[in-house]
Copies of this chain bind each other. A is one copy, B any other.
Amino acid sequence: MRPVAVAGVGLTKVMEHWKKGLKDLFAEAALKAMEDAGTEDIDSIYVANMLGAPLQGQLQLGAMMASALGRSGISATAVEAASAGGGVAFHEGVKAVASGYSDCVLVGGVEKMSDGLPGEVYSAMAMAEDQEYTAYTGITKMGMNALVHRLYMDRFRVKPEDVAMFAVSSHENAVGSPHAQYPFRASVDRIMASPMEADPIHMLECAGVGDGAAVVVLMPAENVNGGVEVAGTAVATDAYYLSGRRDILTLDAVKGAATRAYGMAGVSPEDMDLLEVHDDTTIMGVLSLEDLGFAEKGRGAAFAAEGKTVRSGELPTNTFGGLKARGNPLGATGLYQICEIAMQLQGRAGDCQVEGARVGLAQCVGGLGSTCAVTILRRV
């Protein structure tokens, strides 16, 4: 298995990009990533996208993006794993280089959610759940998160304000982030006063609807100067419908992917200098901290509430704002995280820089934890 490195990164600001289509967003991020890597000589493309079919009526995005980049001829495919797609596509791109099949792979995620009306977007997002067991009931992604959030508060005697502190931290970190969708501070009072999205989840506790693209270029480590090594990468799954889970407050896919990625990298949670975790809601951010091994079960909310996750804290987490404040363009999200970790490790994070970071972890989740991808990057 030959070592793989991130040779370049590129991303667009997350926002409602009314004047740009899927191709425009992808190409914008891809051109930046190729320039950053100092090569246009890519031989394969992986495209992570979730809602192209329901929102844009668009499939076969691999060939589409190869063509949009003027690189028709090369190998290309689309990868889909709901909002874990970006991390999963990265995992596949790493295998392409590690196997020797490819010498220069472009892995990009793109999503354009603002093309749909809110109802259309929520229906489309529900496609990540089992239509025969879950989605047909009409429950939304947010409704499912609310069930988990309520049970968490009940079982571990946690106050709503403590869970909300995860969003306070993500918004705090987003200040100064050039590509964040919502780069402003939000106090816990403001969050608790925002409209109820799905009781007990407030609007300012969940990621909004946004468009964006994030791209990395991967090459054999020996061909990259000053790059960032892919120390660990793993994908794991959990029971597809909630009632099949061992415990709906434990994300076994997160535990599984993390265990494998730590093993591959030869590290443990204590070695991490910074994290990007999947806080599409505050409760998912909290559970992620626990199941990645950074807080005991039931203590994840307190971990954030104690200020450990801000950039100046003990374990800077979601250093450009996370899903909550940087934004969550589904298929692109996992690649935003990976780009951000790479930028931090290379000292290119500008106002968001965490000083001296050497090892970082990115974790993204599909559905309510059915798929998880964990990536560990290390400064060479």
Where the two chains meet, the residues of A that have a C-beta atom closer than 8 Å to any C-beta of B are: 1, 21, 23, 50-54, 56-64, 66-68, 72-82, 88, 91-92, 95-96, 98-101, 123-124, 126-132, 135, 234-241, 244, 252-253, 256, 366-367, 370-371
CB <8 Å contact, A57 and B127? yes
Pick from B50, B66, B371: contact of A76, CB below 8 A.
B371
Pick from B66, B130, B235: contact of A75, CB below 8 A.
B235
Pick from B63, B80, B240, B371: contact of A366, CB below 8 A.
B63
User: Cβ of A237: which chain B residues have Cβ within 8 Å of it?
Assistant: 62-63, 66-67, 72-76
21 contacts between A and B (CB under 8 A): A1-B101, A58-B131, A60-B129, A60-B366, A60-B367, A62-B81, A62-B88, A63-B238, A63-B366, A63-B371, A67-B241, A72-B239, A73-B253, A75-B235, A76-B235, A76-B371, A77-B88, A77-B92, A92-B92, A95-B96, A96-B99
CA distance A49 to B76 in the complex (A): 16
User: Cβ of A100: which chain B residues have Cβ within 8 Å of it?
Assistant: 1, 98-99
CB <8 Å contact, B73 and A256? yes
User: Cβ of A253: which chain B residues have Cβ within 8 Å of it?
Assistant: 63, 73
CB <8 Å contact, B1 and A370? no
The copy count of this chain in the complex is 2
A132 to chain B, nearest CB (A): 7
Pick from B51, B63, B72, B234: contact of A81, CB below 8 A.
B63
CB <8 Å contact, A67 and B370? yes
User: Cβ of A64: which chain B residues have Cβ within 8 Å of it?
Assistant: 130, 240, 370
CB <8 Å contact, A63 and B367? yes
CA distance A98 to B98 in the complex (A): 9
Can you name the residue of chain B whose Cβ is closest to the Cβ of A96?
B95
CB <8 Å contact, A74 and B236? yes
CB <8 Å contact, B236 and A75? yes
CB <8 Å contact, B235 and A72? no
User: Cβ of A126: which chain B residues have Cβ within 8 Å of it?
Assistant: 57
A354 to chain B, nearest CB (A): 30
